[in-house]
Amino acid sequence: MDFNYLNDKDLLYFSKHILLPNIGIEGQQKLSSSEVTVFGLGGIGNLITTYIASAGVKKINIVDFDTVEDSNLQRQINFTNSDIGFHKTDVIDKYLQSRFPNLSVNKFSNKILSTDEVDSITADSDIVLDGTDNFEVRKIINKSCNSNNKKLIIGAVEGYSGQLLTVMSNKSTCYECIYEDLTDNNSCSESGVLAPLVGMISSMMAMECINILTGNNPSYENKLVLVDGLNISINIIKTKKKQNCLICSQPYEKI
């Protein structure tokens, strides 16, 4: 990590962060020196990119193969009608650059099919944020991060249900430990989504990312957080690493 010192403008811009005892100047400098990768620019990733950029992260990789559609606008609030038909990575890049001129954005508009691709994209990343809506892609990202000991925060929303999980290292409960038998390839395009719940999950993921980057303890490691948007409740289930997990208990093999 290349350490970035804050200038006078940064000190003013981030003054409310700097006043927080668990961030301060040192924590804000850590944010400024960090690189984060966001997979998926749908409802969750759409908002996460703004949250972490506004928090001070200066390097963000954005990954999504899709284009903006009419139905996205209900919950992917960084898109407008004029963006329909354009690649999500291009639209988010333009949006972020207009708001944060000192931000460095790397765009990847390919569909993720292998761990090799994830390895390459996340090579220098301090944290990976997974906001994809496909079980198989999540498993590929999980496998890559596990093999490279990358910190991974996973979030998902379907219907009225939101989920969160943090994988801090290959010693944490990983996505495969919990969802070993899931092979469904459906996305939110085949199911309903409560729009404000997407904002809630993305905010929680962004806070977890900021806390970890500034040296604070993660909140969701070895826990599965379940958010019920219909009854406005949060249930936290403690998880354990599976001794026979196909990903985190086995020698790494590329897929």
Separation of alpha carbons 252 and 191, rounded Å = 34
Query: Amino acid letter at 66?
Result: D
* Virtual torsion, Cα 80, 81, 85, 87, nearest 10 deg: -10
What's the token pair of residue 48?
């996460």
Say if 25 falls within a structural domain: no
Q: State pLDDT tens for residues 64-121.
A: 999 999 999 999 999 999 999 999 999 999 999 999 999 999 999 999 999 999 999 9
pLDDT of residue 1: 53
Say if 74 falls within a structural domain: yes
Say if 4 falls within a structural domain: no
Contact 18, 7 (CB under 8 A): no
DSSP letters for 69-131:
-GGGGGT-TT--GGGTTSBHHHHHHHHHHHH-TT-EEEEE-SPP-SHHHHHHHTTT-SEEEE-
pLDDT of residue 71: 93
> Is the Cα dihedral 168, 169, 171, 172 positive or negative?
positive
Say if 190 falls within a structural domain: yes
Say if 26 falls within a structural domain: no
Say if 248 falls within a structural domain: no
State the pairing for strand pair 127-130/35-39: parallel
- Structural domain total, the chain: 1
Separation of alpha carbons 236 and 169, rounded Å = 20
Alpha helices in the chain (DSSP H): 8-13, 15-18, 24-32, 43-55, 88-99, 115-121, 135-147, 175-178, 195-213
Say if 45 falls within a structural domain: yes
Q: What is the mean pLDDT of residues 201-220?
A: 97
Separation of alpha carbons 136 and 243, rounded Å = 21
Report residue 249's pLDDT band, with 50, 70 and 90 as the boundaries: confident
For residue 40, the enclosing domain spans: 34-238
Q: State pLDDT tens for residues 180-193.
A: 876 655 555 567 89
pTM across the whole model: 0.93
State the pairing for strand pair 35-39/59-63: parallel
pLDDT score of 224 more than 80? yes
Say if 133 falls within a structural domain: yes
Alpha helices in 148-190 (DSSP H): 175-178
Mean pLDDT of the chain: 92
CATH code where residue 171 lies: 3.40.50.720
Query: Amino acid letter at 81?
Result: N
How many percent of the chain have pLDDT more than 90?
84
